[in-house]
Amino acid sequence: MTRRAVRPGRSASATRQASSVLLSGKVTADLCRAIHIYLARTPSYIVLANFEDGLGELSQTNLPGTVERYPNWTRKYAIRVDEILCDERLRQLAAALRSTRPLG
């Protein structure tokens, strides 16, 4: 399997600016999709889309080092399980990955 390499080409300033947006918690669906498309263009053999990212969840599933202060590995999503395949955000993310990184 041959993957085309991504040429970084970003300045340190642009990288800091992007990091600032990510850390601020203002990640939009478009930004999430752009990040996943960028990852899909890398030469990695496996690229995964995080379910939580697609739904815009900001809290992490597991917080290492805590037992009682944080509900590790439990989460209530904004949508029900039967709505997952119909959620437009997840469908758009899957379509973007599929078109950027076809099977094979």
- pLDDT digits over 55-88, tens only? 888 777 777 777 777 777 777 778 888 998 899 9
> Length of the chain, please?
104
* Residue 27 is assigned to a structural domain of this protein: yes
**What is the tally of structural domains in the chain?**
1
Question: Dihedral sign, CA of 18, 60, 102, 7?
Answer: positive
* Residue 8 is assigned to a structural domain of this protein: no
Position 95 pLDDT exceeds 70: yes
Tens-place pLDDT, residues 4-28: 554 555 566 666 776 676 677 677 8
Give the residue numbers spanning the domain of 82.
13-100
* Residue 7 is assigned to a structural domain of this protein: no
| pTM, to two decimals | 0.64
The per-residue pLDDT for 71 is 73
* Residue 35 is assigned to a structural domain of this protein: yes
* Residue 52 is assigned to a structural domain of this protein: yes
